[in-house]
Amino acid sequence: MEHALSAAAEIRRTVDVFIDQALSPQARSAALARAARQGVAELVRSGRASPTYRVFVDGREGEPEERVKPDGQITYLFGSLNVAAQFALSFLKARSPAKSGRYKDSFVFAFFTGGGVSLTGPGRDWRGRFTGQDGKAVGGRMVPADQVNFAKIGGDVTEIIIFNRQPYSRRVDVQMDGKAPLKFNVAPGLFEDAAREISKRFGASVEARRIYSVSFPGQPVVKRGSRSGQRVQSPALVISPR
C-alpha cells in the first residue's frame, strides 16, 4: 500500500506503508489514511511543501482519505506558487547591482486573489492576466519582499507581481537610456531571465512572464524631457498558477 506525496517538479516522493493484513479492510484503510495525513503534515511543517494542495484518493479528487481502498493509493499534489515566488526573489536579488545594495533591498510583492479584485483593464488579457504596459498593481496586497512569509501564500492567490521601487529599475533591466547603452555590473534582461528560469523549474504548475511596466502607489515620475510628469516605466515579473 502506498501514498504518494508530490509537488509538481519540486517534490517527488512515494511512501510505502506496511499494514498488517490481518486487520479488517476498514482498519487497513484507516491506517493508510492516518499515515498519509501524518506524512503531509510533516512536509508542510518542515517547509518542504506548500500548505495548499489537492487530494486524490484512488484517483478521485476531493475524497476523504478514509475512503481509500485497503490496498489503494492517496496522492497529494502540492501547489508550487509559493516555492516559485521564493525562487524568483532569490534570482532577482542575485542578479541585482551590488554597488550600494539599495536595488536589491527594494523589491515589492503585490498579491492578487480571486475575490474582490478587478482583473480587467489596460494590459490584461481575457483571463485577467497582465500582458503588457500599464498593468495596475493597485488593488493587490503589497508587501515589501523582506516581509513576505512564503509559507503562508495561500491557495486563494491568483497572481503575484514582483517589481522594484527604485526609479532606475528599467535601466537595470534593459541597460539602455534611450538609444545609449548603459553598463552595470550585472547582465541585462533581469526580469525576462527570471521568468525564463521559473518556467524551466516550475512550468508544469505556474506561468511566469515579464511585463513592460507596472503602476504602483508612490511610483516616481519623470522629471524632465518629453515624458516629464509621467510615471517612470517599471518592469515587473508576474507569476500565476496554471
Residue 1 has pLDDT above 70, yes or no: no
pLDDT digits (tens, 9 = 90+) for 72-125: 888 887 778 888 999 999 999 999 998 888 999 999 999 887 643 344 444 455
* Three-state secondary structure readout of the chain: CEEEEEECCCEEEEEECCCCCCCCHHHHHHHHHHHHHHHHHHHHHCCCCCCCEEEEECCEECCCHHHCCCCCEEEEEECCHHHHHHHHHHHHHHCCCCCCCCCCCCEEEEEEECCCCCCCCCCECCCCCECCCCEECECEEEEEHHHCCHHHCCCCEEEEEEEECCCCHHHHHHCEECCEECCCCCCCCHHHHHHHHHHHHHCCCEEEEEECCEECCCCCECCCCCCCCCECCCCEEEEEEC
Residue 13 has pLDDT above 60, yes or no: no
The confidence band for 9, taking pLDDT boundaries of 50, 70 and 90, is very low
**Amino acid 210: pLDDT:** 93
pLDDT digits (tens, 9 = 90+) for 227-237: 676 788 899 99
Q: What is the pTM of this model?
A: 0.66
**Amino acid 134: pLDDT:** 44
Per domain, the residue ranges of the chain are 2-78, 81-241
pLDDT digits (tens, 9 = 90+) for 166-196: 999 999 998 887 788 888 889 999 999 999 9
The confidence band for 146, taking pLDDT boundaries of 50, 70 and 90, is very high
* pLDDT average, residue stretch 53-78: 87
